[in-house]
């Protein structure tokens, strides 16, 4: 399936883009991340959480096809 991934803050610095669409044939968020680690070598060193459909999810969550976002540490306030 074609999924849209959003990148923010220092993650967007690594990917050099804020959003992209990728073809993904796996099942879990962890498999999607493996695909991204291959594409972006520096991503593995970064601290981030994953949101799917605007809710934080674990890496063992199935990819639903909704919007995925990679969120670096929060710094509000």
Partner 1 sequence: MADKKIKNVFRQGAISSGFIGESIHKHQTKTSIGAHNIFLGQVRADVIDDKTVTAIEYTAYEDMANAKFHDIREAAFEKFELTCMHIYHSLGTVKAGEICLFVFVSSPRRKVVFEALEFIVEAIKADVPVFGKEIFEDESHQWKKNT
Contacts with partner 1 by CB under 8 A lie at 6, 8-10, 51, 54-55, 69, 71-77
How far apart CA 20 and CA 16 sit, in angstroms, is 10
Nearer to partner 1 by C-beta: 8 or 24? 8
Place of tokens 């710094």: 75
CB of 55 to partner 1, least distance (A): 8
Nearer to partner 1 by C-beta: 25 or 74? 74
CB of 65 to partner 1, least distance (A): 17
């Amino acid at each position: 399936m074609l999924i849209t991934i959003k990148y923010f803050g220092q993650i967007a610095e690594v990917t050099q883009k804020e959003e992209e669409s990728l073809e993904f044939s796996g099942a879990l968020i962890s498999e999607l991340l493996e695909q991204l680690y291959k594409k972006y070598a520096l991503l593995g060193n970064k601290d981030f959480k994953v949101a799917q459909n605007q809710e934080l999810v674990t890496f063992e969550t199935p990819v639903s096809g909704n919007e995925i976002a990679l969120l670096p540490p929060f710094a509000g306030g």
